[in-house]
Structure 1
Amino acid sequence: MTQPARQREQQPTRLHLRLRGAVQGVGMRPFVHGLAARFSLSGFVRNDSEGVLIEVEGFTQDFVAALHAELPPLARLDSCECEEIFPRGDTGFVIETTRQGRAQTRIPADAATCEKCLDDLFDPSSRFHLYPFVNCTHCGPRYTLTRALPYDRAQTAMARFPMCEDCANDYADPTNRRFHAEPIACEKCGPRLSHQPQDIVAALRAGKIVALKGIGGFHLLCDARNADTVLELRRRKDREAKPFALMLANAASVALFGRPTPAELALLRAPAHPIVLIDSSRNLPDTVAPDMTRLGVMLAYAPVHHLLFRAAGAQRNAPCAFAVVATSANPGGEPLITDNDEAQRKLEKIADLIVTHDRDIVVRADDSVMHIVDGAPAFLRRARGFVPEPIDLGEDGPSVLACGGHLKATLTLTRGREAFVCQHIGDLSDAETFRFYEESATHLLRLLDIAPEAVACDLHPDYLSTRFAEDFGAPVLRFQHHAAHIAAIGAEHGETQILGAALDGTGLGADGAVWGGEVLRLDGHGGFTREGSLSALPLWGGDRAAREPFRMGVAAFAALGRLDEASAFFSAVPQAAQAAKMLGAKHPQTSSLGRLFDAAAALLGYPERQEFEGQAAMRLEALAREPRVLAGGFVWRDGKLDFTPLLAHFIDARPDARAGAELLHGTVIAGFSEALCALTQSGEKIALGGGCMMNRILSEGLAARLREENRAPLLARKLPPNDGGLSLGQAALARAVLMKV
């Protein structure tokens, strides 16, 4: 410590510090030990059930400043309670043994291999040279291999691998980067890969499909430049058109396949290494991402990935043209495969080569998917690399388990002021996925050691998530789907009384109708009022209308009173004539913006069956370059926003698909901005949520228009705006109800 620092402290002190946040498994204790040595302090540091406890004695002022300023890369300090206590006269500083207790801390998320471990991986003199499971306290798997808290090796998938002498020495050395790195292992003592990287690359180059076990589950890999192989992967996986993600060697390789912005490159390099959507340069086969102008790209994030690219000729930090499709190994809509035996059974007809390893995956986790929206990162899917990092709710409250929806399902468990949202689970229609959902709930409850006071769910009685809530054994609170969408965005931004637009595909309304284009005001106590909505369109076929856009195209004719013209307009779609006859009778109505987009897609030339949810809308987003407003294309009156004039224009003017897509986006932006501005009260913030906010053009355009009108839009940042964030909104509403009582 410098002399000026000593002068600022007139006498030695002893400080008691309680650290909470992402402070275990991230190298916090060796970091604190190093700081104590640097400032010649005595005392101790230890992990416990609440986080990290520190006592330091000596000239401590600079220690506290450095503690905050120099945190380890994966650490996040949510709070630091500091009090001065009576000096004890200790000599030396020690790292004490972890103390058990009821879990109040958390596990850090999985992190991509750090630069120092890559140094070791490629250094012939390192004992970790070419070892596909190298890691340290700054990187590697965490959540996906942890069974229980506190986060110690004995409670992880590494318990079955006794450390060799060298690893044990590193693990016990406070000055080593691998001090208490729970997954530490080497070639002598750790997990092993079933096939060599060069053999895997040889298979890929030969046009084979490879199943590779990774951090959170198996990937299916193939050579992204081989159009026939990509098409064969689509055939075997029964995935006709949904875009595949691309894995590349490093950030220097991205410009070979796309046009990333600086913000997108920064997001690609983040510790989580998510899939990031970037503009495609279209030098890959169309089979990788059919009809899309953006490409999902991720960088190699596990040691085995880096070894694959090395075997393919990649040089570290140099551009590499070798690229692989990397898609989740989940055949038939089932959850991601994690088990070796299951992979052999279920992937034998999809993969030509199945590559396993003998470290168990305790918690399955898909790759997270993100993009840059309105100048900042936003989620399309939140999983590996971010779960289980909690969302701060701003104040302590009752513990609630929120069960989410039926599609893009997640669960949220609250503890104090924290909301823990589980990884993306998927659509609960599949029995295996529902079992995964139940497993996720059990794991979350066990991990956090929480008995919730209540469970929250959707109004829809037939959702399996609703039935799970009813069978849980705690009081059930039910919330309207779109109110939960708005509450989710309010929760992450610290707002409870808020106006919001919930724009998505479907959700049961408070009146029993199908909603999806709503302007709601939350009252801060768990209730809401419906301030406005889209004018309804007939909904023929229920959920089938979301898969077959021609149904909503015919509904547009019905809404315009021109049903007799529908059959001729859709002459190439035989079912359209039947739809026109059926819609002559009374039918359910929907205010869904998602179904409006489907109607527009059908009228603009995409009436055929969608292979995946939102395909038609994504095609229109990909076509649109500059959104334009159709004069007179909407009417806002008496709380109803009517876009039938725009639909009539599509029928009568027959614009090409690109022009129509631009008019659709621009007019919808103009219509909702007018409605929201008319309904906003002084100083009120506006949440923009729902699945349609995954559309970058729509979300950015609406946010920009609102700011031009001096309004304050809020977008989803910590969770996806679609049903992946629904459970957080339910949890926030449930807490508001319970805290009001």
Structure 2
Amino acid sequence: MPGRAIRVRGVVQGVGFRPTIWRLARQYGLRGEVWNDGQGVMIHAIGDADDLDAFIRQIPLQLPPLAKLDSLDVTALAPTPDYPDFRIVGSQLNGMHTPIAADAATCPDCLAEIADPKNRRYRYPFTNCTHCGPRLSIVKQIPYDRGNTSMAAFPMCPACQSEYEDPSDRRFHAQANCCPLCGPAVWLEDNQDRLADNFDPIDRTAELIRQGYIVAIKGLGGFHLACNAADDGAVYRLRQRKRRYAKPFALMAKDLGSIRRYALVNAQEEQALQDKTAPIVLLRAGGETLATGIAPGDEKLGFMLPYTPLHSVLLAALDTPIVLTSGNISDEPQCIDNADAKLQLAGIADYWLLHNRDIVNRLDDSVVRFMDDEMRLLRRARGYSPEALTLPTGFETADEILAMGAELKNSFCLVKHGQAVASQHIGDLESATVQHDYRQLIALYQQLYDFRPRHIVIDRHPGYLSSQYGQTLADAGRCELVETHHHHAHLAACLAEHGVALHSKPVLAAIFDGLGMGEAGELWGGEFLLGDYKSCTRLGHMQAIALPGGNQAMREPWRNTYAQLRHYFDWPALQQDFPDLHIVQFLADKPLATLETMIAKNLNSPPCSSAGRWFDAFAAALGIHTARIDYEGQAAIALETLAASRFNGNTPYPDAWEAGVENGMTVLSWRGLWLAVLNDLKHDIDTAEIAARIHHSLIEACVSLLLKLSAETDTDCIVLSGGVFQNRLLLEAIGHALRATGKTVLSPISYPMNDGGLALGQAVIAAAKSLE
């Protein structure tokens, strides 16, 4: 009888893949073996030729929920061994390593068990199987066996061991398998000690939340702080104690029907909410209202559904959604350790719902938003990392590259054997605790993937802590150090995730963000580029305007307003023409003489072409967070929210922008727009209409310039990326307008368009250079 050797690569270990193959082989009457090895899974199958062909065709169609198939290669098996039946055999490691699956939301089968009073896992908060549950959050090293996870502390009872050893059971080799007799336990504490065990700790937690208390809950990848989302007082207290005064809170509801009471949900958003990745989905608020402090000044609500059995049992006992925000003091990472949480969250939480399964690797909740007909990742973490991306054609031999990422929203990325593995969202490296996590995770990923870099890639900004640590690693490991251009990396990341081949012709790109370092040390952020993986050329940009106070101007929008106005107008004359405007009176009370000296002498006032600061300037002019913002992007988000209410049916201001030429590049300047906005403010025009027309004016200018550059460069593919394109109005309107002229428009989907996706771009730029 004929035989086949079938090599399978991808996320195929620890996800129930071998039992699936075992059942499929038995279905087709085949003999042989299946085993894990360092490349993935190997199958030897012997049987009738038609049955073999049918079996092979079914493999990609019968994947277990957490598996991901990268390749399936079939060769003849000769001579054919004498197998008596089809068996699962032990792993055969050969020095290589295969991907670890991402943590996954509780599967329907496990949910049914915890809801069944007759099941031995009824209401058990750590129920899982090969189709769901913890993965990256509990692993310490490879191979991914129970002994190398935080489940090693919990020997399985005979019943669980029997499931673990039975290939017909969905818990076959489920490394986190457990039950109430042998697994982790949950308990409740107040700020003094553990509470008595004569009540159910999860039901008691639900009751405390109903009463208005704040509870710290140890979850899958870190602690959360929870309170009743309908209780104004509880939400206010949480904001004050956490010192998170304005940034929206994430919410969790028990089911889709509960979410629909408070938000509008389309088909794609519904699918995302119910996906195994279980991200926070940003939805448009609509229907009943929650506490006023949930999302101040924002039309969106960030909802997720329960993704662990603990969450499911807790939410089943509650009639209203809960706030479920990261368990930390503002700007610090989530707590993951019980003792640390008791210390760090003292003064914030009233109670702690704890358990004794260690969280090895911190995982934030992922965030998605439906924009421009796609569900787009804004934060990539739990449920997605460490899923690998097979790089496009031409990158097959790319190897041994470590990209260090950015300063804010950091993640890093490694490239091995033509695949890119981006880490989970780590956070802002300004925090010493985040820096510690960053270094630990780099070391862990190197161990998990048996990875030793030869090329280390950094952003060219010398002040980035990621760049400084990359330099340290390169020196210690004698690696080649590759510096990349910030906005080129945004462009390259988008090309990579869309599968654009290495040697494809250059594309046009509009890259809009807060700021990044340009080619000669300038600060960029509103850029029009022509580039591919190897290089990019700046063809145009937003008008560069002074950034008075440097980083201070990122926190105080009025500084950007003044810098824009004094650039385009004579300030004393402007004061005379518009003496009653709020923004003019507000600025008159500021130390403008000092700012003028700083700008004139270029003292901590670098020119900056940032689209993010452009939005801040107009927001402040309209009285939106004029004095100060509490979190990155707050003013721009509020301006988008205001504009959305009047966006449809509005038009750009006439003569709002001018495309001049400076140093051979097209420069968009905005004197006309500022004059129109000031005049509308003078005549008390509704600020929502003004905000909408500001957006339309920028959209018109961008589309016009991109079409002009497209004709000049004979380039019909255009990338839109950078954090500013998280503005839905901007992304959709520019994208639709360009597509209407026949252009191909690419923008990030599976990797963040903000700096969270930068490491992927850095990695493929270095890969392209290494393959020259």
| TM-score using structure 2 length | 0.91
* Whole-Å separation in 2 of the counterparts to 1:524 and 1:616: 33
Matches within 5 A, 1:319-334: 321-334=319-332
Q: Structure 1 residues 579 and 392, CA, compared in 2 at 3 Å: closer, same or farther?
A: farther
2:246 pairs with one of 241, 249, 268: 241
1:289 aligns with 2:295: yes
The answer for the alignment partner of 2:192 in structure 1 is none
Cα distance in 1 for partners of 2:639, 2:81 equals 70
Which one-letter code corresponds to 2:58 in the other structure?
Answer: A
Q: Is the 8 A contact 1:538 1:583 kept in 2?
A: no
Match of 2:339 among 338, 341, 358: 341
After TM superposition, give the deviation of residue 411 of structure 1 in Å: 0.4
- Among 650, 661, 677, which residue is 1:650 paired with? 677
Partner of 2:9: 20
The answer to whether structure 1 residue 502 and structure 2 residue 511 are counterparts is yes
**Take 2:459 and 2:89, find their aligned partners in 1: how far apart are those partners?**
46
- Residue of structure 1 aligned with 2:41, choices 52, 65, 83: 52
Alignment correspondent of 2:420: 419
Question: What is the match of residue 7 of structure 1?
Answer: none
| Correspondence 1:708 to 2:735 | no
Other structure's SS at 1:356 match? strand
Task: Give the stretch that moved more between structures: 142-151 or 402-411.
Answer: 142-151
* Whole-Å separation in 2 of the counterparts to 1:197 and 1:61: 51
State the distance in 2 between where 1:600 and 1:140 align. 46
Q: Are the structure 2 counterparts of residues 372 and 651 from structure 1 closer, same or farther at C-alpha, using a change threshold of 3 Å?
A: same
Matched, 1:188 2:193: no
Report Cα offsets for 1:542-564 as digits up to 9, x if no partner: 11111111001101211212222
Matched position secondary structure for 1:457: strand
**Equivalent residue in structure 2 for 1:612, among 628, 631, 635:** 631
Contact 1:489 1:689 in 2 (8 A): yes
Q: In structure 1, what is the Cα distance between the partners aligned to 2:147 and 2:247?
A: 41
> Partners in 2 of 1:116 and 1:584 — Cα distance?
64
The alignment status of 1:366 with 2:397, answered yes or no, reads no
Counterpart of 2:585 in structure 1 is 571
Partner of 1:537: 545
Name which of 207, 221, 227 aligns with 2:226. Answer: 221
d(CA) in 1 for partners of 2:221, 2:533: 38
Indicate yes or no: 2:169 matched with 1:176: yes
Contact 1:224 1:230 (8 Å CA) reproduced: yes
Unaligned runs of 5+ in 1: 1-11, 313-320
Q: What is the correspondence of 1:483-562 to structure 2 with a 5 Å cutoff?
A: 483-495=488-500, 496=502, 497-525=506-534, 527-562=535-570
Q: Deviations over 1:685-712 (max 9, x none)?
A: 1111111011111111111111112111
Is 1:663 the counterpart of 2:693? The answer is yes
In structure 2, stretches of 5+ residues that fail to align are 189-200
The aligned amino acid for 1:57 is I
**1:290-309 alpha-carbon deviations (Å, 9 max, x no partner):** 01111100001100001102
Quote how far apart the aligned CAs of 1:652 are. Answer: 2.3
Partners of 1:683 and 1:541 lie apart in 2 by 39
Distance 1:311 1:652 in 2: 55
Distance in 1 (CA, whole Å) between partners of 2:225 and 2:268 is 28
CA contact (8 A) 1:570 1:576 kept: no
Residue 315 of structure 1 corresponds to which residue in structure 2? none
Identify the residue that residue 411 of structure 2 maps to in structure 1.
Answer: 410
2:533–2:764 Cα contact (<8 Å) kept: no
TM-score, reference length from structure 1? 0.95
CA apart distance, 1:578: 4.4
Q: Does 1:264 align with 2:275?
A: no
Q: Distance in 2 between matches of 1:156 and 1:658?
A: 53
Q: Using the TM superposition, give the Cα deviation of residue 150 of structure 1 relative to its aligned residue in structure 2, in angstroms.
A: 2.4
Amino acid in structure 2 at the alignment position of 1:357: H
2:159 and 2:594 map into 1 onto residues whose CA distance is 72
Match of 2:70 among 52, 69, 78: 78
Tell me if the contact between 2:44 and 2:77 (Cα under 8 Å) persists in the aligned partners. Answer: no
The match for 1:589 among 607, 614, 638 is: 607
Measure, in 2, the Cα distance between the counterparts of 1:442 and 1:81: 32
For residues 26-66 of structure 1, give each alpha carbon's deviation from its aligned partner in whole angstroms, at most 9, with x where no partner exists.
11011011011111111111111111111111021111111
Residue identity opposite 1:499 in structure 2: L
Secondary structure of the corresponding residue to residue 570 of structure 1: helix
User: Which SS does the other structure have where 1:333 is aligned?
Assistant: coil
Does 2:756 correspond to 1:735?
no
Which residue pairs with 1:160 in the alignment?
A: 153
CA spacing shift, 1:720–1:291, aligned 2, 3 Å: same
Q: Check the 8 A contact 2:548/2:599 in 1, yes or no.
A: no
Q: What residue is the counterpart of 2:640 in the other structure?
A: 621
**2:465 paired residue number:** 464
Q: Secondary structure at the match of 1:129?
A: coil
> Using a 3 Å threshold, how does the CA distance of structure 1 residues 232 and 45 change in structure 2: closer, same or farther?
same
Alignment of 1:363-442 (within 5 A): 363-394=361-392, 395-396=395-396, 397-442=398-443
Whole-Å Cα distance in 1 between the matches of residues 8 and 235 of structure 2?
49
CA shift, 1:572, in A, is 3.0
Identity %: 38
Distance 1:643 1:343 in 2: 50
Secondary structure of 2:418's aligned partner: strand
Give, as a single letter, the amino acid of the residue that structure 1 aligns with 2:75.
E
Looking at structure 1, the residues matched to 607 and 592 of structure 2 have their Cα atoms a distance apart, in angstroms, of 20
Alignment correspondent of 2:128:
135
Q: What CA deviation, in whole Å up to 9, does each residue of 1:227-273 have, x standing for no partner?
A: 11101100011000000011000122211110111111111111011
- For 2:198, the equivalent position in structure 1 comes to none
1:584, 1:532 → 2: CA distance? 23
Which shows bigger deviation, 300-309 or 644-653?
644-653
Tell me the alpha carbon deviations over residues 185-236 of structure 1, each in whole angstroms, 9 at most, x when there is no partner: 0001000111311111111011110000111000100000001110110001
The amino acid across from 2:508 in the alignment is L
Q: What is the CA-CA distance between 1:586 and the residue it aligns to?
A: 4.2
With 619-628 and 57-66 compared, the bigger mean Cα shift is at 619-628
